[in-house]
Amino acid sequence: MSSLILRTATRYLVPLLLLFSIYLLLAGHNYPGGGFVGGLAAAAGLALYALAFDVRSARTMLRLTPTGVSALGLMLAALSGLPGILRGSSFLTGKWMVAYLPGFDPIKIGTPVLFDLGVYLVVLGVTMSIIFALAEEES
Amino acid sequence: MKMLFSNVLLALIWSAMTGAFTLPNLAAGFVFGYVALLILKPLLGESAYYSKFPRTISFLAYFLKEVVVSSLRVAWDVITPTHYNRPGIVAIPLEARTDLEVTLVANLISLTPGTLSLDVAPDRRTLYIHAMFAENPDAIRREIKEGLERRLLELLR
Amino acid sequence: MNETISSVAQAMMGVLCVAMLIALYRVVKGPSLPDRVISIDLLTTLAVGVIALYSIETGQKIFLSAGIALALLAFLGTVALALYIRRGGPP
Amino acid sequence: MMTVLTMLALAGFFAPRLYRAWGARTAGRLALAPALAFAYFASRLSAIRGGETIRASFEWIPVLGFEFSLQMDGLGLLFALLIAGIGAFVVWYAGAYLKEDPAAPRFIAALLLFMTSMLGVVLADNVIALFVFWELTSFTSYLLIGHHHEEEKSRKAALQALLVTGLGGLFLLAGLLLLGQAAGSYNLSGILAADSLSSHPLFNPALALLLVGAFTKSAQFPFHFWLPNAMAAPTPASAYLHSSTMVKAGVYLLARLHPACADSAIWQAVVPAIGAATLVIGATMAYGQTILKRLLAYTTVAALGGMTMLLGLGQTLAIKAAVVFLLAHALYKAALFLVAGIIDHETGEKDVLKLGGLRRALPFTALGAGLAALSMMGLPPFFGFLAKETLYSAAQQPTLLAASVIGGVFFLVVACLTGLKPFFGAERDTPRHPHEAPIAMWIGPLAMGLLSLSFGVFAPWVGPTLIAPAASAIAGEPLTAKLALWHGWNRELQWSLATLALGLVAFASLRALRPIMPAFARLRAWGPERGYEAALNGLVAAAGAQTRLLQNGSLRYYLLATLLFVLATGGWFFWRLVEWPAPGAGTPVRLIDAVILSLILLSTVGAIFSRSRMAAFASLGVAGYAIAIFFVLYGAPDLAMTQLVIETLTVILLVLAFYHLPPLHPRTPVRGRVFDLVPSVLVGSLMAALTLAANRANLAPSISSYFSANSWTNAYGKNIVNVILVDFRALDTLGEISVLLIAGLGAIALLKLRAPGKGGGGAP
Amino acid sequence: MKDAVTMFLMVSGSVFMLLAAVGVLRMPDLYTRMHAATKVGTIGVIGVMLAVAVHFAELGIVTRSILIILFFLITAPVAAHMIGRSAYFSRTPMWKGTVVNEWPTPPSEQGQGPDPDGEVPKV
Amino acid sequence: MNLLAAPIVIPLLLATLALLGMRSHRWQQALAVGGAALLVLVSFRLLFRVREEGALALQVGNWPAPFGITLAADLLGAIMVVLSSVTGLAIALYSVGARETARERFGYYPLVLLLLMGVNGAFLTGDVFNLYVCFEVMLMASFVLLALGGEKPQIEGGVKYVALNFFSSALFLAAAGLLYGAVGTLNMADLAVKIPAAEDGGLLTAIGLLFLAAFGIKAAIFPLFFWLPASYHTPPPAVSALFAGLLTKVGVYALIRFFTMLFPLEASFTQPLMMWLAALTMITGVLGAAAQHEFRRVLSFHIVSQIGYMIMGLALFTPLALAGSIFYIMHHIIVKTNLFLVSGVVHYLRGTGELKELGGFYRARPWLAILFLVPAMSLAGLPPLSGFFAKLALVVAGLREAAWALVASALAVSLLTLYSMTKIWGEVFWKADPTPNAEAAMEPARYRMLVWPIVLLAAVTVAIGFSAGPMFALAVDAAGQLANPSAYIRAVLGTAP
Amino acid sequence: MELLMAIVIGFLYAAGVFLMQRRNMVKFLVGLALLSHGANLLIFTAGGFTRGSPPIIPEDADVAPILHADPLPQALILTAIVISFAVLAFALILFLRAYQTTGTDDLHDLRSTDT
Ligand code: NA
Ligand code: NA
């Protein structure tokens, strides 16, 4: 039986963790962070959710199956290497687009960012699949 | 909530006007914004926001004082060689009802002197706390109900 | 003045180190599992302190991210351990 | 030549399929293949007689200097004629013999393939090609001997033949390769032509190896035991293996190498001695046998000994004798074996003592048998007589002559027993009522019997046509061979008469000697076959002991072995050769460093000594967090964060898993733990020392400055570590997330997929 | 002035943390140790994080410091609660000087006794 | 040059596709078979290009050589990729016939594809640390494939497999780190240039010996092979076959690559050490097999034994011997995979691999018997099958180097191999069936599906034997590139060494 | 510092290896984790120490300051950490299953597949 206090705190903490994980993912190219830590932090959030509530609701939060999330991530990471090939360069060559928004510094979006997103998803999905499977284990 | 949003917006506009998104500037913008909203009170109609703002400030002040004091007391007990404490577990009847109320009460009790929330009874009517000085459980109950819980519930309801 | 701050920060890190060793003693000694858990929890709190002081000492603010991560995650570990103590066996 | 070989091989490969189309008549038709081959070889007689050699070759493994080459000279031709000629009869015979056997197609196939390989052996010029065919004869004969494979005896005999000849094959391979290396050519023609080969340091080892190879194949003492056991094969196979093929391969090899090797001391010392010993042993072993095929088998051993002995003598006369003997033996032995098969087939009786008077029921068989037996007895005008005469004339030394005479006597006895006794005397009751066999079966013995007779009669033609070219090839120089039935009243003839007299006496006294036969049988039990059995059993036992010792199932021991390996190689080397770096100044140590590091050390100690798993685990967590702080201190915030998150997640995983695991119990006794401590500490020290050494080595400037120079300007990221992860070395990361994904799949599969009977798993 | 504040906050925060550790070491039982760890530790972190905020005086740093403080204010009591109730249910022994216990004996949902070694027997 | 990335990316992408369509068996099977077939095409194309143009390199991410990761293929690498693809195709086809439905639901095909990705990556990478990562991909996939199914023997074998291979990875990782610390680079070509130039007083050799231990475990040499016989006979036959053919050879490949290009063997210590290891590996492995009475256990121990032959070629360290090793690997991957596939058919038909309980297969299924004989006799070195030429080359090389004892061990071991193979032949095929009518019903279609890959591999074995000349020439060229890696270095670094 | 680190690394290796030789699964896992820590610190140390200067290019610069920590070992360690985590997690679950299927957590008893 879980704790009311934990559940309530979790409701407020999980969004924080997810937000933090997205920050880590996006800031990772320039500041400490990146897909790994980001994905792991998101996974930690969902894990907290699974601990405080139950696995079923945590699964619902994730929507896709954990395996699906990680497969998607891996595919994304691999696909992010293809634009390089299509543009006549090597596999995994970074290709960048610069978006100019008035009032902001130019935003650079490149395949390495997609790659990092793939990493994020894989880490999230895998960690979740392991934790969910273990938590659902009956003895 | 709408009022809080307006206040934050005003703070941002202030920062934009002054051209510096620094923390002091934002804080100043927030205060000025509150003053502006206060001025506009007749126009906007009655809102709990006007009273909640100062109450929140005063609650935070109270709470911070309690935290510091509590820490000092425990610290004192830690550095002095003898244990002055007479610990015990006390049951506190709860007025708080919603999840958030219960949780906040429990957490704040944990952060204030000499008391530590251990658990909420399954019926949510009783909070079991561990107290450092539990010679007089009734006094503890009264102190919490009159002080922390009342102030908090006023703020929340 | 910055050097003074650096050296004070360094000295305070020393203080926190002493605190860490004390907490570690409790981790090892126990005696109960919850004792270990709160000691580890305290250790992580101390570690956040060390990171903060270190970023003051070196002027590298980017270490703070590690502090945030630690603060958020240590809680998770503690909760997991607490649930373990609580259940004490197969759920 | 290549075409002939290919044709025979194809005939073999497609035999089973043809059987399906043609049924029982297939073997008769397939016998045309060797008959054609025979015709081809016969057509080359005159050319070879004229001193030509026929060559065919193609590139094979040019980088190794191997070409696939065949070459036919007189020796090869003689063998080829025997192999193809007898082979044709044997195939035809086998079709009838195995009429009822559903596995007959396989047998015929194996027989034809065996024939191909045997032809390959005698025609190969390249030593590797020779070896290839040599091994193929071993293998195909394995299939032939094991034809009745559902009987354990057959399987054992087949395995024995394979292992013994296989062992010899390996010696042969090593010998041939060394010889080729010494001669600078892997072709026999090149080897035989090489100058001063015998003074090369590799020559003697090579020769020794080759002799072992030849002796095993030709069932020379002490490897002779496999041959009588190979009787487990169906009779056509035995007839073929024993008369003209397989066992003759060893003799062929000796003959082939003769020009290059006969001068060496080893050859002269070993070959005649082993040959004589085999002759005597084979002959005595035959004594006391009453089973038809066994009798013949032991005389085969003896005959092979005789040929080996002759080749070892090295004189011209002996060489000629060997060739004559070889030819004679092939003919009568094939005939007698086939006859033994007919008798067995028709009467169901294998014991000669229980046979008699079959000449009325099996007239053609009896005729063939009689002719062959007379040749084997060495009576004029049969070819066997010439063989015996030349043998006696070559055996000038008294001991060799004695051995030859003993052999001759026993041959005579066996010939009487196997070729005459079953057909004469009173008719005996047998399990089956005998009828004459089909022509497919009796035609072979009859033809070979007649050939034995006519070769004797036409000896003056046989000498220069068949014997001289072969003998020339063996001698390595042109020889002539004048063969005639009548040489005058000379020493040889006198010994022949003596042999005849002794043989008849021996035959007559067989009955009287029967009580001592079991003693002979007991003697056999102490022969080298016992050594073979002991070696095989010992090997299997040793293998079992070794495996139980090494593969003992204890993970702890496996790890220990691994650690010791690391220590014995890297550790030992490092200790010996690496200069210990002088303790340099290095990076100064601060208090915080010291505290964090001691935190790591202390928590590690805690992990080792904790008696509860949660305590062990708590210590582990502390170590992880301390390492994270260390990473912060030394400028690795990314690492620190990752370490923290991972450590936390590990906590959660362990907690979740520990619901299901039992508490800790110390299991290894204290002494064992102390014992484990030693290699552990040594490995730790090694790693520590290596770390220090590598840290101070700095043998070349690091590549890392490139990353800081290009991270922002070319990869648009300021966090260099992250840029390395997602761009500079993104391939690493791609692999790494694959590892993660796989681990996730594994976790799900392990936890949800249950072995049958334990509740099925749900979809993931 | 700013530096003086920074130093004051650093020193007081650190000293509080040290005291928390000493408390965890010296207090007689788990529950009293938790008082030290939770409250004193938190105030220590708040002190140090405020020092960071003052020292760097940048928006990003200040918000992050406040974020960390906020995290601690939410998580520390919850963690204490989780450990406390778990400890109580697993019957972690209380100090002999404990004067009162108004919490009914823990429901014997697990049927376990206190476990001084921290090792929970396998069910 | 992106062709070099294809053997890695194709299985990776297909694996993710298969995972996303995890519910459909057909989809997964189609992806696995199609992907493997595609890999065969790609790998042959790669081999032909390397044969024509010499060593090829791809600077992944377009970062110049010692800084980014370089994929590089010389002949050895290309040959290995071809072999892994062919094996992969056979396994994929066989798996379709095996119908391990429960396993298919838990990602069997994606795992096979990922395993191939790791294996190909290991063969193609030109970076030490990337090699570590590829090894991990391969190992992790093999861990899971081994344990997939959760039967008791699998789990028990898996524990040892995981434990010892993890230790190997830890050694590898440490060695890679030390190498970077000492030499400051991870690129193999760069290392091949810098290591000979460095005066290190033996440190690099010591690091090399750590690599030897790490790869030695993966390659299952003496005395590091224990995990192999403990685990290889436990998973489903297709998985066993895949492991048996490919995995240890990746370790051997790494040994060859490292101890020719980076740490060339030295007569003072490493070469004699390697010779001892080769001989002991051969002998202990074959004796282990002689003591076994279970189909796949016999085969498993023989893997160890034959690893010894491959190490022998390395230890002799002449171009001819290296060529022998390479040829041996080519032969062995195909043959060993096939033998395991045959054992699998037997297992599916009878539900056991105990030799005692089997029999009668020669009479009942003559084609299967012949399909066993081809690889079995090839393994035993019977001419003119592939194994003979492999053995021959090594023996010739050994005799030329006057390594008498090693040659003698090699020959003796081949006789014992023959013994083991005939033991299986005698027990499973020749012996009368001790339990007639015990055969599980199997639809002919499924049986054919199981047998076709066996036919394919047997044909390859025969083809290698009959084209031994050109095949061996290929191996000689590959060995030549190892002995003189300047073309490889030029392809990677863009400059002459 | 280097010497001290070498001692710590050696200690972690020794402890890891020692624990991996225990018969208990849990001890083995702890040993596995310690060994990973040892390997990570080893790479870090082999790459050299730079205090307090992370490999992050300052906001106002295009290249990192001259003196900064070597980013490559960090990236390698990061990869290694994640891989060890995957292996550890898998090993943990494998051991759990081994315990469930065999009924023992004694690694010494899991020998039915060897001989
Ligand atoms: Na990486
Ligand atoms: Na890239």
From the list E117, E118, E122, the residue facing D662 with the nearest CB is E122
pLDDT tens track for E97-112: 788 888 876 554 443 4
Whether residue D603 and residue C20 make contact (CB cut-off 8 A), yes or no, is: no
CATH of C2-87, one of 1.20.1510, 2.60.40, 2.40.50, 1.10.287: 1.10.287
Name, of D274-278, D624-628, F34-38, F492-496, the range with top average pLDDT. Answer: F34-38
Give the ranges where D348-438 is alpha helix by DSSP (H).
Answer: 363-377, 383-394, 398-415
User: What distance in angstroms lies between residue D726's CA and the mean position of ligand 1's atoms?
Assistant: 8
Mean of pLDDT over chain E:
81
pLDDT tens track for F245-276: 999 999 999 999 999 999 999 888 899 999 99
pLDDT tens track for G104-113: 888 888 888 8
Name chain D contacts of G4, Cβ cutoff 8 Å: 589, 593-594, 597
How far apart CA F316 and CA F277 sit, in angstroms, is 12
Q: Does B have 3 or more CB contacts under 8 Å with D?
A: no
How far apart CA B5 and CA D748 sit, in angstroms, is 46
Mean pLDDT computed over D632-636: 91
Select from D511, D526, D541 the last residue of a domain: D526
From the list F61, F223, F411, the residue facing D727 with the nearest CB is F61
Burial class (CB in 10 A: 0-12, 13-18, 19+), D564: middle
Residue E117, pLDDT above cutoff 70: no
Residue D692, pLDDT above cutoff 70: yes
Write down the domain spans for chain C: 2-87
How far apart CA D762 and CA F491 sit, in angstroms, is 51
pLDDT tens track for D265-314: 999 999 999 998 998 888 877 777 788 888 888 889 989 998 999 999 88
pLDDT for res A120: 96
- Does D96 lie in the same domain as D36? yes
Residue A103, pLDDT above cutoff 70: no
pLDDT tens track for D188-245: 999 988 888 888 999 999 999 999 999 999 888 888 888 888 888 898 998 888 777 8
pLDDT for res D645: 85
Judged by a CB distance cut-off of 8 A, whether residue A69 touches chain C is no
Give D393's contacts (C-beta < 8 A, 6+ positions apart): D317, D321, D491, D492
Residues in F whose CB is inside 8 Å of some CB of A read 1-2, 5, 9, 12-13, 15-17, 19-20, 22, 58-62, 107, 110
pLDDT tens track for F446-492: 999 999 999 999 999 999 988 999 999 999 999 999 999 999 999 99
DSSP F187: B
Question: For residue D552, what pLDDT band results from cuts at 50, 70 and 90?
Answer: confident
Whether residue D726 and residue A66 make contact (CB cut-off 8 A), yes or no, is: no
pLDDT for res D523: 66
Burial class (CB in 10 A: 0-12, 13-18, 19+), E41: buried
pLDDT for res D582: 63
Ramachandran category for residue D220: left, alpha or beta (phi over 0 → left; psi -120 to 50 → alpha): beta
Whether residue C19 and residue E72 make contact (CB cut-off 8 A), yes or no, is: no
Residue C71, pLDDT above cutoff 50: yes
Residue D525, pLDDT above cutoff 90: no
% chain D with pLDDT above 90 = 45
More confident residue, B9 or E41: E41
- Does D34 lie in the same domain as D140? yes
Q: Which ligand is nearest to the Cα of residue G80, counting in written order?
A: 1
Write down the domain spans for chain G: 2-50+68-114
User: Is residue D681 included in any domain, yes or no?
Assistant: no
Residue type, F28: Q
Q: Which chains touch B (3 or more CB pairs under 8 A)?
A: A, E
Going by their DSSP bridges, the two strands F70-73 and E100-101 should be labelled as: unpaired
pLDDT for res D524: 66
Beta bridge mates, B126: B93
Write down the domain spans for chain E: 2-110
Q: Does B have 3 or more CB contacts under 8 Å with G?
A: no
User: From the CA of G114, how many Å to the nearest CA of chain C?
Assistant: 32
pLDDT for res D366: 92
Mean pLDDT computed over B136-144: 88
pLDDT tens track for D60-102: 888 887 889 999 999 999 999 999 999 999 999 999 999 888 8
Question: For residue D617, what pLDDT band results from cuts at 50, 70 and 90?
Answer: confident
Question: For residue F417, what pLDDT band results from cuts at 50, 70 and 90?
Answer: very high
Give the ranges where F61-149 is alpha helix by DSSP (H).
Answer: 75-98, 101-105, 108-124, 128-147
- From C13, G83, D596, C52, select the one nearest F138 (Cα to Cα): G83
Mean of pLDDT over chain F:
93
Residue B83, pLDDT above cutoff 80: no
Whether residue G45 and residue F181 make contact (CB cut-off 8 A), yes or no, is: yes
Judged by a CB distance cut-off of 8 A, whether residue G28 touches chain F is yes
What would the CATH number be for the domain defined by B56-156? 3.30.70
Going by their DSSP bridges, the two strands B88-93 and E100-101 should be labelled as: parallel
Write down the domain spans for chain F: 6-493
Select from D195, D222, D237 the last residue of a domain: D195
Q: Which residue of A has its CA nearest to B123?
A: A4
Tokens matching residue E56:
């760097």
Q: Which domain holds residue D502?
A: 256-526
pLDDT tens track for D601-611: 998 998 888 87
User: From the CA of D635, how many Å to the nearest CA of chain C?
Assistant: 9
User: From the CA of G79, how many Å to the nearest CA of chain D?
Assistant: 6
Distances (CA, A) of D456 to D383, D472, D486, D498: 4, 21, 11, 21
Judged by a CB distance cut-off of 8 A, whether residue A42 touches chain C is no
Residue type, D371: L
Q: Does B have 3 or more CB contacts under 8 Å with C?
A: no
User: What distance in angstroms lies between residue A31's CA and the mean position of ligand 2's atoms?
Assistant: 19
Mean pLDDT computed over D478-505: 85
Residue B1, pLDDT above cutoff 70: no
User: What distance in angstroms lies between residue F41's CA and the mean position of ligand 2's atoms?
Assistant: 26
Q: What is the DSSP string of F354-395?
A: BGGG---HHHH-HHHHHHHHHHHHHHTT-TTSHHHHHHHHHH
- Does D724 lie in the same domain as D649? no
Mean of pLDDT over chain D:
88
From the list G78, G82, G93, the residue facing A134 with the nearest CB is G93
Give the ranges where chain B is alpha helix by DSSP (H).
Answer: 2-18, 23-39, 41-44, 48-79, 99-111, 137-143, 150-156
Burial class (CB in 10 A: 0-12, 13-18, 19+), D426: exposed
Select from D180, D195, D210 the last residue of a domain: D195
pLDDT for res F380: 93
ipTM of this predicted structure: 0.92
Name chain D contacts of E119, Cβ cutoff 8 Å: 611-614, 663-664
pTM listed for this prediction? 0.92
- Does D436 lie in the same domain as D363? yes
The count of structural domains within chain D is 4
User: Is residue D89 included in any domain, yes or no?
Assistant: yes
Q: Which CATH class is domain G2-50+68-114?
A: mainly alpha
**Tokens 């990146």 found at:** A34
